[in-house]
Structure 1
């Protein structure tokens, strides 16, 4: 897979956060690299009023009132009616939604699925049953599915050349512990998206987050989506 780094958008001495555009296999992707322990990566769902933030704009506004700046945001995964995360949602060490063990029902239940978690300076993508056995007690975690790559192996249900083409977003934990969020700028199938994480980004473990409604926010990129979400992964200054 050919890899072309197009632009470096954001890097500061205080934050390791990097935002780039990467072209691989003829497709363009937006990629944000986060260093756990250096960047304040957090997961949000509800505000002080108990209601879901819903949009990136609402989260950004709430943070601004606290004197904080939103550096990056993306929706955390598939959600249920009422803007409730469909799977596990852990926020500041508290489990707000338990692990979902469903074996049927769309992409989320295309097993194996998994959990993206952050604990201190560490982050990981773990298969859901393996995550449960690890008893990690993370600071933040969200469950989604399917797993794109597990231990360097692409999900067995994915097919090269599949005609199921959609905008897709995901997250991977890569060599050295860096976290890479990616969203395709155009329609791509699951196989190519998984291959992008494994071969272009060097992430042996990666998790699908969501499809066509996904968004990426950085100050330079902005946020053109007004669609409401449940959980939102964010990096805050």
Structure 2
């Protein structure tokens, strides 16, 4: 099954932060240093792992293919690719919906090279549940932007991944989300602070609906914009874990890059 329409069936293949420490205060962390700070928190009866990446001190990249143009698909393969440079993954997760061949459904830019244009039309599945949005990574900052706003702003992203739906748009929950909705899956996504200095990644530890996932970003993390990545295939990697993707092959992957100590 293609991840293009992300039906969430099993498949193999804030508003304006007053201070930069709002996220840390909300989940009881200190200031981020070299590695993403990750912690488990509870919201509406669901446990989430939330990782705060400080773009002022950490490098965040997107990964799709190896040097031969073949999909990487696994966190371990990214680590192997980085090792000759003296680098390693710190924290990583799947970063957008993809087709059967693991090519991205929406806009995708890696190291300044666009491999997929921006998709503006709706359609079936979660990607077409408009508004959707784009994670744009630039030097020293990252921004989640609703797709129409992204097109109007024309930011020069070093890395970009389009997914959908948006979870939070300018401090407002996506209008199609239903409190108590019965569509529940393991879900993951990303939100960014208004100043672009922090990207906050979250994954549910048990099935959750869109409404509760969105309110995690809006009410607990208090982020002005947040974007859904995917559900059911959602994976999180943190340095030191004994397992990587548990056999799942992914499309776009986002992660922090660290110097091997």
TM above 0.5, one fold? yes
Deviation at 1:223, TM superposition (A): 2.4
Q: What corresponds to 1:228 in structure 2?
A: 249
Greater than 6 Å deviation, 4+ residue runs: none
Match in the other structure for 2:50: 31
* Equivalence for 2:204: 184
Corresponding residue pairs, total:
232
Q: Which moved more, 1:119-128 or 1:184-193?
A: 119-128
Deviation at 1:31, TM superposition (A): 0.8
Of 185, 193, 199, 1:166 maps to 185
Assess if the C-alpha contact under 8 Å between 1:5 and 1:23 holds in 2: no
2:106 corresponds to which residue? Answer: 87
Q: CA deviation at 1:53?
A: 0.4
The CA deviation at 1:65 is: 3.3
Gaps in structure 2 of 5+ consecutive residues: 1-24
Local SS of the residue matching 1:108: coil
Match of 2:149 among 130, 136, 139: 130
- Residues 12, 116 of structure 1: alpha-carbon distance in 2 compared, 3 angstrom cutoff: closer
Q: Which residue of 2 aligns with 1:56?
A: 75
Structure 2 Cα separation of the partners of residues 66 and 121 of structure 1: 21
Report the counterpart of residue 145 of structure 1 in structure 2.
164
Cα offset, 1:101, TM superposition: 2.0
What is the RMSD computed on CA atoms of the aligned residues?
Answer: 2.0
Match of 1:99 among 106, 118, 142: 118
Q: Distance in 1 between the 2:51 and 2:240 partners?
A: 12
Q: Deviations over 1:54-94 (max 9, x none)?
A: 11121122212332121011111110121100001111111
- TM superposition score normalised by structure 2: 0.84
- Match of 1:109, SS? coil
